[in-house]
Amino acid sequence: MNYQFAKKDISQHIVKYGVDIRPTFTPKQDKTKLQDYCNWLIEKFGEVFEVLLASPRELLVQKNFLLGDNKRAEMQTFVLTGRGPLFTFPQRLYIGGLHDLNIPDKDKIFRKALDELRSRFADKKVVRVGVINEIIFDTGGIDSVEIIVSNLKGDVWKQSVKNLFIRLEAPKEGKNINVEIRPTYLKHTGRGGPIEAAVGKAGFGIAVTVDINNQQMADDLTNSEVREIVSFANDYIPEELIKFLNNEY
């Protein structure tokens, strides 16, 4: 099947920045300082961080994004995971139509947020930074399983496969580039963009997740090393990714 991935077919794009911290945060010990940090995020970058939600088991910040046509999308934009903080910046959502969110300088926001985290937790080290791009290509009425299967070599495989999940590891220039590809079914309703639906009730899509991070675990990444990882990811997404998916190298 001669399907070509294209930037114009991206119906959802969410960018996440993940930080691996050592030693990891201890909820009980670090609770007050972490909540103070989240309140700083809300005060400093209200366009991304809005409401703090804290419980004994989780710490997160949400944002209710105002879209066009009086539509809204509520998303978790900061989550404290077992490995460290995860910052989320939606770039494009499909809720009754395409909505491009204007969040200027998301890289700068992330770097400033990381700098503030370092200053408040001087005993912590940043050993890995990853930039995760979650993208959905809308294939319309073209069965996304058939698109992905068409890249398999064996005819028996092509005829037999009804679903599949592909994970590729393609390290380059000292960076891990981990790509996950899977077919999905879309219906363009709901609060958070395209969501999976039952077969036969919606269009098709291909979900692609790209996680780019430093290949070697660092003792403590410098600010320049963090900027280099982020810059590398920006250069890769979406143009280089689309070339890779279309086998144009």
Helix (H, G, I), strand (E, B) or coil at 107: helix
Task: List the chain pLDDT tens, one digit each, 249 residues.
Answer: 678 999 999 999 999 999 999 999 987 889 999 999 999 999 999 999 999 999 988 999 999 999 988 899 999 999 999 999 999 999 999 988 899 998 989 999 999 999 999 999 999 999 999 999 999 999 999 999 888 888 777 666 567 777 889 999 999 999 999 999 999 988 654 444 455 544 445 689 999 999 999 999 889 999 999 999 999 999 999 999 999 999 886
Burial class (CB in 10 A: 0-12, 13-18, 19+), 46: exposed
Domain presence at residue 202: yes
**Which residue is it, tokens 């509520």?**
74
Domain presence at residue 1: no
Name the pTM for this structure. 0.91
Domain presence at residue 48: yes
Dist. CA 103–CA 48, nearest whole Å: 8
Domain presence at residue 2: no
Domain presence at residue 98: yes
Q: What is the DSSP letter of 190?
A: S
Based on the structure, what is the number of domains in the chain? 1
82: left (phi over 0), alpha (psi -120 to 50) or beta: alpha
Domain presence at residue 108: yes
Domain presence at residue 196: yes
Dist. CA 212–CA 10, nearest whole Å: 19
Report helix, strand and coil shares of the chain as percent, to nearest 5.
Answer: 30, 40, 30
Residue 126 belongs to domain spanning? 7-245
